[in-house]
Amino acid sequence: MRLFTAIGLDPDLRRCIGKIQSELRQHCEKGHFTREDNFHLTLIFLGERESSEIPVIKSAMELSVHDLKPFTLKVSEPGCFTKGSKKILWLGLNGEIESLLHLYSQLENNLMAKNIINQRQNYSAHITIGREVVLKNPMTKIKNNLAIPDIVIPVSKISLMESKRENDRLEYQPIYEKNIGNAPSPSQP
């Protein structure tokens, strides 16, 4: 199983981000763009895992959010990571970033303590819009011509997600969700 932990986005938020993605696509010559129903905020990528590890991962997630409080993030301007000659196009985040970084740190520490991950990762909070993107113009020019609406992301739970191909399409499916602090219980898939 190919697994990662994430903050999921509800359908309305994904639609809003999809509109921004459509605008950004006009500034790209080509790329592989994230499907709207796959938009999420990755916390920690876990890679290939055995199903027997899932209870340990769930336990780390539970420990990580027990004493935290729900918080909110906001979508900010786009940016690019460069990997070799390819670019990953993303939307940045602002808002209660300290709460997000604290959640990330707690989760990373608990996953390391349970030997699920063995090294710290550099974390850059973002929502991936596209991969292998070729831009028509420099990012500074694109940012100047793009109006980002006020999109608030309430964060009240984290998810353990599985990445798999179904019918030749990449699907991200939640296999476990855990509330942050005293947030109302999510329904389990």
pLDDT score for 189: 45
Classify residue 160 by burial, with Cβ atoms within 10 Å: 0-12, 13-18, 19+.
buried
The reply to whether 189 falls in a domain is: no
Q: What is the pLDDT of residues 60-114, one digit of tens each?
A: 999 999 889 999 999 999 999 887 777 999 999 999 999 999 999 999 999 999 9
Q: Where are the beta strands (DSSP E) in the chain?
A: 2-8, 28-33, 40-48, 71-83, 86-95, 126-135, 152-155, 157-166, 169-179
The reply to whether 188 falls in a domain is: no
Q: What is the pLDDT of residues 122-181, one digit of tens each?
A: 899 999 999 999 899 888 899 888 888 999 999 999 999 999 988 888 889 999 999 998
The reply to whether 184 falls in a domain is: no
The reply to whether 186 falls in a domain is: no
Q: Which two tokens stand for residue 135?
A: 């831009």
Q: Are 57 and 46 in contact (CB under 8 A)?
A: yes
Residue 188 pLDDT level (bands cut at 50, 70, 90): very low
The reply to whether 29 falls in a domain is: yes
The pTM is what? Answer: 0.89
Helix (H) or strand (E) holding 139: helix 139-144
User: Where residue 129 sits, what CATH number does that domain have?
Assistant: 3.90.1140.10
The reply to whether 51 falls in a domain is: yes
Domain count, the chain: 1
Q: Go through the chain and tell me how many residues it has.
A: 189
The domain containing residue 106 runs over which residues? 2-179
The reply to whether 20 falls in a domain is: yes
The answer, yes or no, to whether residue 51 has pLDDT greater than 60, is yes
Angle at 66 between CA 60 and CA 68, to 5 degrees: 115
